[in-house]
Each structure stands twice: as structure tokens, then as C-alpha cells.
């Protein structure tokens, strides 16, 4: 069995038996209008270094524990590093797909808990600038994943560069990671503001990382939510939860494992598990189809407004 076949099987069987009640069959999912998979969730931040990649790695791991088939896309194209955090050494990346050297199942790399990782490379900086035939080819290839994925989780990178904006716009749900530091708060607001005012994105989910306690996390959320209410009418910001500052997180990073896998009883691990449950139980946004192909189509269509508006500056 080659790696591609292994991944296909892996994604088809990912903890199905262990977690049957939380992992409805595709048929049941289609019948159940409240649950529409695959869901596309982006994880971004204004300021860098606030914990996005850890959030992606741990939420992805938590989703696998809940019986979901998870695909992680490392869209932090400049500083792609989720593979390092997860201790993976991908043989191929999306560039090989674009060069038509490999198919989508060949580039998927198996990660902890049965998640699959779609590795990026810094050579893919111009993903949104592909020509029409490349886009169609990529859409067809990625559409093959639609049936095997429950949740697509995207590490978008930090800031408000055009690539970050594209990925946050294309995803149906955007998690913005923020820490209680004033610089992180102002930069998170700046990201929300540019996505809302220039590109009309009107819903965001806030995750507060590295907070000392629940009160500090709520205060952090309150500062952003008040500014949004006051200056960005019609935009909603929900609170997902917080991850405490926890020494176990850097310890797990050093051993290149998600903290949830390395230290399941750590306070941060419990938070990640709770938030993953909350996301799984929360119905996805009714506004968007929530399909992998929709995500990519939307991603490519986003090129136009960004160019008209000065590429997101």
C-alpha cells in the first residue's frame, strides 16, 4: 500500500468506530441539515507569535479525538511551520501539486491522531495569482478531498497581507487569536476592521490565548467587542474561549507534539478540548455552503476586490 492509498484509508476510517455517536455517517450527515460538512475554519491573528499554529495543531488534534476527519492546511506561506510543530517531514507540498508532479493524496502528510496535513512551501506565495487552467486543476484535485474531510482547518499566518486576508475571507468561519497584550489587541482589531470594512466579512470568533485566568480573557474579549460594536456596525464577534498561559505548551512544542497529545491533563489541553467540542456542537454559519470547493472558488474570486482595494493595505 503506497502512502497515498494509506492516507485515503486513514481519512476514511479516522476513529470511526471509537467515536461513532460523534461521527455521523456521510449519509446521515446529508440528511441532517443542521450539520453540513466539511467545515472550513481559518485561524488568523493581527500580531505574530500569539499562538495560532499551536491553536491549529491542538484544535485539529482535538477534532480527531471527537471522531472528525481533519485536514490542516498550512497557508502561512511565508513561514510555513506546522509540520515542524507536529514533528512531520513532508516529502511533497502544494507546489508539487501545482507542477502536476503529484496528486492531492500524494502530498497529504499523516499527522498525530489521524489528521492529514496539506503542506505549503514558500514557493506558493502566488496561490491567488494562478492562471485559469491551474485554478481549475487545483479545484478538481482539492474537490477529491471534499468527501473525505469533515473539517478543514487553516493556519493563515499573521497580519493583513493579501494572502492572510484571502484565506480569512474564503473560510466560512474565522477564528482570530489574541493575547491580553495591548499590541495583540490593537492588531486583532486592525485585522477585523480591514476584513469587515474593506471586504464585508461580518462574523468573527475570538480565541484568547495565554491569559492568566478567565477574567483576563473576558476583559480582552470585551475590549475588542466594544470597539467592534462602536466602530464597525453590523459586525458580530463571538467568544470561543481561552487558553491559559501554560508552560506545558512550549514543552510540547520542544517535543514537536500537540500539548493535547503530550500532556492531555494540562490546563491548556482541557481548554483546547472544550473549544473543539463547542465548535463541533455549534451549527456552522448558514450563509455559506461550507464545502471545500466553495472555499477554493471563493479564495480565487477574492483576488478581484483585493486588487481593486490596493491588495489589502
Ligand X SMILES: Nc1ncnc2c1ncn2[C@@H]1O[C@H](COP(=O)(O)OP(=O)(O)OP(=O)(O)O)[C@@H](O)[C@H]1O
Minimum CB distance to ligand X, residue 153 (Å): 13
Residue 155 Cβ vs Mg ion, minimum distance, rounded to whole Å: 6
Contact 152/59 with Cβ under 8 angstroms?
A: no
Least distance from ligand X to the Cβ atom of residue 286, Å: 30
Q: Is 53 in the site for Mg ion (CB under 5 A)?
A: yes
Assign 72 to helix, strand or coil.
strand
Residue 154 makes contact with ligand X by CB under 6 A? no
Strand order in the sheet with 116-118: 109-110, 116-118, 70-74, 151-158, 39-45, 173-178, 203-211, 236-244
Of 48-56, 94-102, 114-122, 170-178, the segment contacting Mg ion by CB under 5 A is 48-56
Stretch that binds ligand X, among 49-57, 104-112, 184-192, 233-241 (CB under 6 A): 49-57
Q: Which is nearer to ligand X, 53 or 205 (CB)?
A: 53
Chain centroid to CA 84? 17
Peptide bond into 38 cis (omega under 30): yes
Q: Considering the rule CB under 6 A, would residue 168 count as an interface residue with ligand X?
A: no
List 26, 49, 123, 289, residue binding ligand X (CB under 6 A)? 49
Pairing relationship of beta strands 116-118 and 109-110 according to DSSP bridges = antiparallel
Q: What share of the chain is helix, strand, coil (3-state, %, to 5)?
A: 50, 15, 35
List interacting residues with Mg ion (CB under 5 A).
Answer: 52-53
Query: Could you list the residues that contact ligand X (CB under 6 A)?
Result: 45, 48-54, 76, 79, 158, 209-210, 243, 245-246, 249-250, 253, 268
Amino acid at each position: 500500500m503506497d502512502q497515498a492509498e494509506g492516507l485515503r484509508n486513514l481519512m476514511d476510517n479516522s476513529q470511526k468506530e471509537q467515536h461513532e455517536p460523534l461521527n455521523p455517517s456521510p449519509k446521515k450527515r446529508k440528511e441532517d441539515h443542521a450539520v453540513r460538512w466539511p467545515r472550513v475554519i481559518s485561524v488568523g491573528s493581527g500580531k505574530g507569535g500569539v499562538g495560532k499554529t499551536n491553536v491549529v495543531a491542538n484544535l485539529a488534534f482535538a477534532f480527531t479525538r471527537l471522531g472528525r476527519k481533519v485536514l490542516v492546511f498550512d497557508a502561512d506561506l511565508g513561514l510555513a511551520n506546522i509540520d515542524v510543530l507536529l514533528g512531520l517531514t513532508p516529502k511533497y507540498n502544494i507546489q508539487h501539486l501545482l507542477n502536476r508532479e503529484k496528486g492531492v493524496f500524494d502530498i497529504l502528510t499523516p499527522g498525530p491522531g489521524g489528521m492529514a496535513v496539506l503542506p505549503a512551501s514558500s514557493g506558493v506565495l502566488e496561490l491567488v495569482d494562478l492562471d485559469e487552467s491551474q485554478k481549475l486543476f487545483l479545484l478538481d484535485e482539492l474537490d477529491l478531498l471534499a468527501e473525505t474531510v469533515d473539517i478543514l482547518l487553516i493556519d493563515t499566518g499573521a497580519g493583513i497581507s493579501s494572502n492572510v486576508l484571502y484565506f480569512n475571507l474564503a473560510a466560512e468561519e474565522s477564528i482570530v487569536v489574541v493575547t491580553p497584550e495591548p499590541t495583540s489587541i490593537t492588531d486583532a482589531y486592525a485585522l477585523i476592521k480591514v476584513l469587515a470594512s474593506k471586504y464585508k466579512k461580518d462574523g468573527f470568533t475570538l480565541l484568547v490565548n495565554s491569559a492568566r485566568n478567565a477574567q483576563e480573557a473576558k476583559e480582552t474579549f470585551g475590549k475588542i467587542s466594544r470597539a467592534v460594536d462602536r466602530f464597525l456596525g453590523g459586525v458580530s464577534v463571538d467568544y470561543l474561549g481561552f487558553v491559559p498561559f501554560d508552560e506545558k505548551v512550549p514543552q510540547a512544542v520542544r517535543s514537536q507534539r500537540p500539548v493535547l497529545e503530550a500532556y492531555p491533563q494540562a490546563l491548556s489541553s482541557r481548554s483546547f478540548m472544550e473549544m473543539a467540542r463547542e465548535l463541533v456542537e455549534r451549527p456552522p454559519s448558514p450563509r455559506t455552503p461550507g464545502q471545500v470547493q466553495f472555499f477554493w472558488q471563493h479564495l480565487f474570486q477574492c483576488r478581484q476586490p483585493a486588487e481593486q482595494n490596493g491588495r489589502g493595505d
